[in-house]
Structure 1
Amino acid sequence: MARALITSIAACLLVMGLAACQPQTVVVTAAPQASAQDYYDAGIRAFGMGDFNQAATQFDSAIRLAPGLADAYWYLGQCYARMGMTRQAEDTYRSGLSVAPGHMRLHEALGLLSYETGNYPQARRELAQASAMGSANPQVFLYLGNLALLDGDCQSAKANFQRALALDPGFLPARQALADAQGRCRPKAPRAETPKVEKSFTGGGRAIDPSDF
């Protein structure tokens, strides 16, 4: 009886040992893929910390996954602009407007960048569009006023400077620009006529003859 019990126990241990030696199946769960929103949120965090290079990488990844994410284009363009990469910034704003032509901040950004890089025709178009769409950025109206002065349109210039100050009464560049415009655009006083001096006698009548005396 004891021998049978020992045999049974030994058999059980053998079976358990064999089972333990069998190859085990390991289930590996893949990490979830980051979404466009995940990349966008990471970009916002990096942007807020001033890490524009990292932020640009995140916003670019967001756009690759979701090409219609208009705000990501604006932030990506801002990153490029702050790193001095003006050509990339302009291209990014243009790409954003191609998928979201009604995005006011993209028009603002492209207009401001165009003005600062000397592309005044494009600046006029984009800043005027931003203004028509309800921009509340005083810099937009400062630049529109400056462009109006270049065109000789004093009234439009002053109106834009006043609009900039209405949005931000403490915006000193607009205050100075308005004062300068008021000085330059003051109506000129009418010019007084210079009396005409006759160089020869043109009156009528007979000339005086000395022999008459």
Structure 2
Amino acid sequence: MRTRNMLLPLMMLALLSLVACKQQTVVVQQPVGPTPMEYFNTGLSYYNNGQYVPAAEQFEFAVSLMPGMVDAHYYRGMCYMQLNQILRAEEAFKMALRYNPNHLLTREALGLLYFNSGNYLAAKAELEAARALNSVSPVVYYCLGRLYMQERNCKEAILAFDKALRLNPGYAEASAELARAKAMCGGGVKKPSQPPVREEKSFKGGAKALDPSEF
């Protein structure tokens, strides 16, 4: 009986030790490392100091943890633009627009990227989208004006250059292009129509009248 009484406390102690061990096995370790926002803020600090390589790396870390972080994709693209890595910049901007098609800064940046790369059709689409989002970048309207001039769309070109100058009255390139557009297009004002010229198709003497259908 005495031996039994001595074993009982030992059994209770062993049971408590087992419970303690089981409790230790369910402890979850908290993840260690910067958050996506911390990566983003570090990248932004590098970017503002002109350190585009480490900045891009931080933005890459941010989007790897949070793929929908639109601003990180945008700045990632801006870094690659500065590093002249055009395809990577395009990919980053497109990813930003995938998550937010109305991200104005990305529309502007992608439009200018296409414009500077000579992809004018794509540039026009992006810059017109930026204009629809109420862009206040004079460069956007300047580039649109240049594109409209290529199409000989006088009215839209003059409106675009005028908008660029209203946003930045000292924009010398826009001022020069506006003057050129007005000179080429007659100020964008439709001239009064002239009476039609009667074309003679029969010989009246002196020379044969020109027939437009022959050209």
What does residue 84 of structure 1 align with? 84
What does residue 133 of structure 2 align with? 133
What does residue 114 of structure 1 align with? 114
What does residue 152 of structure 2 align with? 152
What does residue 50 of structure 2 align with? 50
How far 1:198 moved relative to its partner?
5.2
Alpha-carbon spacing, 1:30–1:99, altered in 2? closer, same or farther (3 Å): closer
What does residue 74 of structure 2 align with? 74
Per-residue deviation, residues 58-108 of structure 1 (Å, max 9, x unmatched): 011111111111111111111001111011101110111111111111111
> For residue 185 of structure 2, what is the amino acid of its counterpart?
C
Runs in 1 of length 4+ with deviation above 3 angstroms? Answer: 29-32, 187-191, 196-200
Superposed CA RMSD: 2.6
How far 1:199 moved relative to its partner?
3.2
How far 1:32 moved relative to its partner?
3.6
Question: Aligned equivalents of 1:94 and 1:116: distance in 2?
Answer: 17
Question: Aligned equivalents of 2:43 and 2:183: distance in 1?
Answer: 46
Question: Aligned equivalents of 2:123 and 2:163: distance in 1?
Answer: 18
Write out aligned runs for 1:168-179 (5 A). 168-179=168-179
Question: Aligned equivalents of 1:93 and 1:178: distance in 2?
Answer: 30
Question: Aligned equivalents of 2:156 and 2:102: distance in 1?
Answer: 25
> For residue 159 of structure 1, what is the amino acid of its counterpart?
L
Gaps (5+ residues) in structure 2? Answer: 1-28, 207-215
> For residue 151 of structure 2, what is the amino acid of its counterpart?
D
From 195, 199, 209, the counterpart of 2:205: 199
> For residue 121 of structure 2, what is the amino acid of its counterpart?
P
What does residue 207 of structure 1 align with? none
> For residue 54 of structure 1, what is the amino acid of its counterpart?
P
Identity of aligned residues (%): 33
How far 1:180 moved relative to its partner?
0.8
Matched, 1:98 2:98: yes
What does residue 210 of structure 1 align with? none
> For residue 162 of structure 2, what is the amino acid of its counterpart?
Q
> For residue 68 of structure 1, what is the amino acid of its counterpart?
G
Matched, 1:60 2:60: yes
How far 1:31 moved relative to its partner?
8.5
Alpha-carbon spacing, 1:147–1:57, altered in 2? closer, same or farther (3 Å): same
Taking structure 2 as the reference length, the TM-score comes to: 0.73
How far 1:171 moved relative to its partner?
1.1
Question: Aligned equivalents of 1:116 and 1:49: distance in 2?
Answer: 24
How far 1:188 moved relative to its partner?
7.6
What does residue 10 of structure 1 align with? none
- Alignment coverage as a number of residue pairs: 171
Question: Aligned equivalents of 1:122 and 1:149: distance in 2?
Answer: 16
> For residue 69 of structure 2, what is the amino acid of its counterpart?
L
Question: Does the residue aligned with 1:185 lie in a helix, a strand or coil?
Answer: helix
Question: Does the residue aligned with 2:84 lie in a helix, a strand or coil?
Answer: coil
